[in-house]
């Protein structure tokens, strides 16, 4: 499955006994996972089991929530993500993230790219334009917006906004891409477009994607992680290669979930 070249820049992530609390309540406990480089790892599980929280802990976006406490270990390549001396800005530059709700900046489409690119040290105007166009082509949005780059990004439809956010993350050439239900606000056609692009991006990034769409997980993922929540918070019930998890899961909870019998 791993189609990636040896010199590919993307990195693997691991978590060890990762536990996350909001105040005194645990969102998930003891999550130990391998996220292989250049593969697509899908997180599935019912609402509220901690998938978004898990994703946000990987780029330490959880630092922004005052009540949130993360313990355990996360690595990105050789980097200890949770170490106190880790530079979070540098960390987040290696990891792109797409949120459940599209969040383009309330500026023009062009500025949505120019602002982060400049911050990442891209000074040349020509290079900014070229990378903007390439990223917009990657998500199939270029033809829709090429004539209105100066217009506010808020004038786009929800699906277009989400693809813009994906393109904005891609333009920064991250090593890892975290996607939180990127297709939940999209119609089936846009959703299929995003899915196609994710597959065409395979081998360029390490992808972690949260999805409620089991068919989608099955189509695009290399590995699947099944989250489940009970009284003590979320946990990982089972994880493994996509076929193993969908065809012969070991845990009865997983078997029932992938057959669509609850959740």
Partner 1 sequence: MTAPSRRFDPRGLGPAHPSSAVSVGAAAAVLAVFAWLCFDMVRQGVGVVDWQFLVHEPSDAGRAGGIAPILVSTLWILAVCLAATVPLGLLTSIYLAELTPRDDVVGRITRRSLDALAAVPSIVFGLFGNAFFAYGLGLGLSILSGGLTLACMILPLFIRTVELGLRAVPASQRDAAHALGLRPIAIAFRVVLPQATPAIVAGLVLGIGRALAETAALIFTSGYQTRFPTSVFDSGRSLSVHIFDLGANIPGGDARAYGSALVLVAILFLLNRIATSILRLFGLEAPR
Ligand X SMILES: Nc1ncnc2c1ncn2[C@@H]1O[C@H](COP(=O)(O)OP(=O)(O)OP(=O)(O)O)[C@@H](O)[C@H]1O
In the complex, the residues that contact Mg ion under the rule CB under 5 A are 52
CB 105 within 8 A of CB 153: yes
Instruction: Using the minimum distance from each CB to ligand X, give the nearer residue, 90 or 215.
Output: 215
Binding residues for partner 1, rule: CB under 8 A, are 59, 61, 64, 66, 89-97, 99, 101, 103-107, 115-116, 119-120, 152, 165, 168-169, 172
Query: Closest separation between CB of residue 155 and ligand X, Å?
Result: 27
The listed partner (ligand X, partner 1, Mg ion, none) that binds 53, CB under 5 to 8 Å by sort, is ligand X
CB 229 within 8 A of CB 48: yes
How many other C-beta atoms can be found within 10 angstroms of the C-beta atom of residue 140? 15
The span of 41-49, 81-89, 132-140, 156-164 binding ligand X (CB under 6 A) equals: 41-49
Query: Closest separation between CB of residue 181 and Mg ion, Å?
Result: 6
Query: Closest separation between CB of residue 251 and ligand X, Å?
Result: 18
Between CA 232 and CA 15 the distance in angstroms is: 20
Instruction: Using the minimum distance from each CB to partner 1, give the nearer residue, 29 or 93.
Output: 93
CB 186 within 8 A of CB 214: no
Instruction: Using the minimum distance from each CB to partner 1, give the nearer residue, 119 or 187.
Output: 119
Cβ partners under 8 Å of residue 7, min gap 6: none
Instruction: Using the minimum distance from each CB to Mg ion, give the nearer residue, 42 or 114.
Output: 42
The listed partner (partner 1, ligand X, Mg ion, none) that binds 22, CB under 5 to 8 Å by sort, is ligand X
Would you tell me which residues interact with ligand X (CB under 6 A)?
22, 27, 47-53, 65, 67
């Amino acid at each position: 499955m791993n189609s990636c070249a040896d010199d590919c820049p993307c990195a693997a992530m691991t978590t060890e006994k990762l536990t996350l609390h909001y105040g005194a309540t645990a969102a998930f406990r003891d999550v130990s996972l391998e996220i292989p480089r250049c593969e697509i790892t899908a997180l599935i599980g019912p609402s509220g089991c901690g998938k978004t929280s898990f994703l946000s802990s990987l780029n330490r976006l959880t630092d922004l929530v005052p009540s949130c406490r993360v313990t355990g270990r996360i690595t990105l390549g050789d980097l200890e993500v949770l170490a106190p001396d880790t530079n979070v800005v540098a960390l987040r530059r290696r990891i792109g993230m797409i949120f459940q709700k599209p969040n383009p900046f309330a500026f023009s489409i062009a500025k949505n790219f120019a602002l982060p690119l400049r911050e990442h040290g891209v000074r040349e105007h020509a290079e900014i334009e070229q990378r903007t166009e390439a990223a917009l082509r990657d998500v199939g949005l270029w033809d829709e917006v090429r004539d209105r780059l100066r217009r506010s990004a808020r004038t786009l439809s929800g699906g277009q906004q989400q693809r813009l956010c994906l393109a904005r993350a891609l333009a920064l050439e991250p090593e890892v891409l975290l996607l939180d239900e990127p297709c939940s606000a999209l119609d089936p056609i846009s959703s299929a477009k995003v899915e196609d692009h994710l597959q065409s991006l395979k081998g360029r990034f390490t992808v972690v994607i949260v999805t409620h769409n089991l068919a989608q997980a099955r189509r695009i993922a290399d590995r699947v992680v099944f989250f489940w929540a009970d009284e003590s918070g979320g946990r990982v019930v089972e994880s493994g290669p996509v076929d193993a998890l969908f065809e012969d899961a070991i845990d009865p909870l997983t078997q029932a979930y992938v057959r669509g019998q609850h959740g």
